[in-house]
Amino acid sequence: MSASAQSSDQPWDAVVIGAGQAGLSAAHHLRRRGVPTLVLDGNDAPGGAWQHRWDSLRMDGVHGVADLPGAPAPPRGPQRANEVLPAWFAAYEAEQGIEVVRPVRVTRVESEGELLRVRADDRSWLTRTLVNATGTWERPFVPTYPGQETFSGEQLHASGYRGAEAFRGRRVVVVGGGASAVQLLGEIAPVTDTLWVTRREPVWAGDTDEFDGTAIVRAVEERVVAGLPPASVVSVTGLRLRPQEQAAAARGAYERHPMFVRVEPDGVRMPDGTFEPADVILWATGFRPDVSHLAPLGLRSPLGGITLLPGPNGPQSATTAAADPRVQLVGYGPSASTIGGNRGGLAAAIAIVKHLRSAHPAGSGSPAGVA
C-alpha cells in the first residue's frame, strides 16, 4: 500500500468513507473514470455491516442483495450471510484493485480552502472531493423510557442479536414496528415466549399490494431534498410476513401491543396499568445515519437532515450535498439500499468528475484523470 494511502498531505481527487456496497460501487465508478481514489473503512476486514449480522441469518433470509458493478451477487441458499457476503466483498476489492485502508474510524471532516481534510485519530488525508458511504450500522437507535436503568434483565439492540437460542426459556419483549422486529420475532417466538410492542399500529401490506419502487424511492428523495431526515422504506411499503415467519405467526407472535409507558426491574408497565413480566428487552428500533463526522462542514438543514440536490437521473441519483458540492452521500436517503447504493455510487462518481472539471479546467492544474 502506498505511503500516501496511510496518511499524506498530497491531495487525493476523491476519498470514499466506507467500504460497504455503496462505497465499493462508488470506488469502482470513480476508478473507471480515472479518478485517483482512496477508500477508508472502519472495519477490521472487508464485508461492511454484513460481517456483523447474526449467525442465524442465512442467504435465503436476506431481504435482497444487488449485484456489485461487474460482479453478480452470491446466490441464495442455506449459507451464513455473515460469511458469504464478506468473502464476496473481499474478492471484489482484490479483483477491482480498490485500495482500502482499514481499520480507519474517521472522526472529522473539515474544510481547508478548496480541499477537505479527513481526520482519523493521528492520521489525516486531504482530498478534493468526498463520498460518504458510512451507512447506519454504527448508529443503533434506542429510545429512552422511564425506569430503563432499573431493569434487572438483559437489554440489547437488534444490532447485538446473535440468535434465538440465547433467549430460550426467557420472556422477550420485542420493541419496534419495522422489518427487523418482524424478522427477529420470526426466529425467537418459536423457541420462547414473546411480547411485541410498538408506538404505532404496524403498517401491513395487503396480500395483493404491488410496490411501485420508483414512487417509494421518490418519496424518500422528496424528504432529503427538503432537508428532512430520511424516512424508513417500510413506512412507505408496509410489512409482509415471509414463509419462515409463519411458525411465529401461528403462535400469535404478531399480535401487536401498545408501547409500554415504563420499565420496571422485572418487566414493563403497560398504558392500561397492567404489568408484563420480561427477562429481555430487545430494541428493534432501527438506526440513524452515521454522519456525525461531517458536522464541521455544516451540511445539516434547520429541519434536521442533510439536504441533497435533486437527482438528475432519477431519485437514487440524489447524492450531492446542497451545502457543499464537494461532498456526495451514498447509502443515505433514496440510495439507502443495495441497489440504491450501486446507482448512487455511479451518480456520485459522475458528479465528482463534473465538479473536478469545473473547479480545475484543463490546462489549469486539473487533477489527474479529469483533464
Per DSSP bridges, beta strands 262-264 and 267-269 are antiparallel
Of residues 338 and 152, the one with the higher pLDDT is 152
The whole-number average pLDDT for the span 246-257 is 94
Which phi and psi (to 5°) does residue 220 adopt? -70, -40
pLDDT on residue 238: 67
pLDDT interval class at 179 (50, 70, 90): confident
pLDDT above 90 coverage of the chain, percent: 74
Do 135 and 48 meet the contact criterion of CB atoms below 8 Å apart?
Answer: yes
CA quadruple 9, 12, 17, 18: dihedral sign: negative
pLDDT on residue 100: 96
Looking at the predicted structure, is the pLDDT value of residue 170 above 90?
yes
pLDDT on residue 108: 97
The whole-number average pLDDT for the span 5-31 is 91
Do 352 and 344 meet the contact criterion of CB atoms below 8 Å apart?
Answer: no
Report the distance separating Cα 104 and Cα 125, nearest Å. 12
- Residue-wise pLDDT tens digits, 188-245: 999 999 999 999 988 787 654 555 567 778 888 899 999 999 876 555 556 888 888 9
pLDDT on residue 97: 93
Which residue from 8, 57, 18, 65 is spatially nearest to 39, judged by alpha carbons? 18
Rg over alpha carbons for the chain, rounded to the nearest Å, is 22
pLDDT on residue 336: 82
For residue 269, what is the DSSP state?
E
**58 forms bridges with which residues in the sheet?**
80
- Residue-wise pLDDT tens digits, 102-114: 999 999 999 999 9
**154-204+239-283 adopts what CATH topology?**
FAD/NAD(P)-binding domain (3.50.50)
Same fold, 12-138+287-359 and 154-204+239-283: yes
pLDDT on residue 1: 57
Q: Residue 18 corresponds to which cell in the numbers above? A: 466506507
Of residues 233 and 29, the one with the higher pLDDT is 29
- Of the listed ranges 24-33, 94-103, 330-339, the least confidently predicted one is 330-339
pLDDT on residue 237: 59
Do 300 and 306 meet the contact criterion of CB atoms below 8 Å apart?
Answer: yes
The whole-number average pLDDT for the span 149-162 is 96
In the chain, what is the greatest distance between 2 CA atoms, to the nearest angstrom?
75
E strand intervals along the chain:
8-17, 37-40, 100-101, 108-112, 115-120, 123-132, 154-157, 172-175, 194-198, 256-258, 262-264, 267-269, 275-277, 280-283, 327-329
For residue 164, what is the DSSP state?
G
Looking at the predicted structure, is the pLDDT value of residue 137 above 90?
yes
The whole-number average pLDDT for the span 48-69 is 89
Report the distance separating Cα 159 and Cα 180, nearest Å. 10
Alpha-helix runs per DSSP H in the chain? 3-6, 21-32, 81-96, 179-188, 213-225, 234-237, 246-250, 338-359
Report which residue type is found at 207: D
Per DSSP bridges, beta strands 267-269 and 275-277 are antiparallel
Cis peptide before 146 (omega within 30 of 0): no
Of residues 324 and 66, the one with the higher pLDDT is 324
Crossing angle (nearest 10°) for helices 21-32 and 338-359 = 40
- Residue-wise pLDDT tens digits, 271-324: 999 999 999 999 999 999 999 999 999 999 999 999 999 988 888 899 999 999
pLDDT interval class at 171 (50, 70, 90): very high
Report the distance separating Cα 224 and Cα 332, nearest Å. 9
**CATH superfamily label, 12-138+287-359:** FAD/NAD(P)-binding domain (3.50.50.60)
- Of the listed ranges 5-9, 42-46, 112-116, 279-283, the least confidently predicted one is 5-9
Which residue from 261, 270, 326, 321 is spatially nearest to 291, judged by alpha carbons? 321
CA quadruple 94, 347, 74, 187: dihedral sign: positive
Which phi and psi (to 5°) does residue 345 adopt? -60, -40
pLDDT on residue 64: 74
Q: What are the sequence ranges of the domains in the chain? A: 12-138+287-359, 154-204+239-283
For residue 203, what is the DSSP state?
-
The whole-number average pLDDT for the span 130-145 is 96
Measured at the CA of 206, the angle between CA 204 and CA 211, to 5 degrees, comes to: 95
pLDDT on residue 234: 53
249 CB contacts (<8 Å, ≥6 apart)? Answer: 241
pLDDT on residue 296: 98
345 CB contacts (<8 Å, ≥6 apart)? Answer: 22, 23, 24, 25, 26, 27, 28, 29, 69, 131, 133, 330
Report the distance separating Cα 2 and Cα 8, nearest Å. 10
Report which residue type is found at 302: P
The whole-number average pLDDT for the span 112-117 is 97
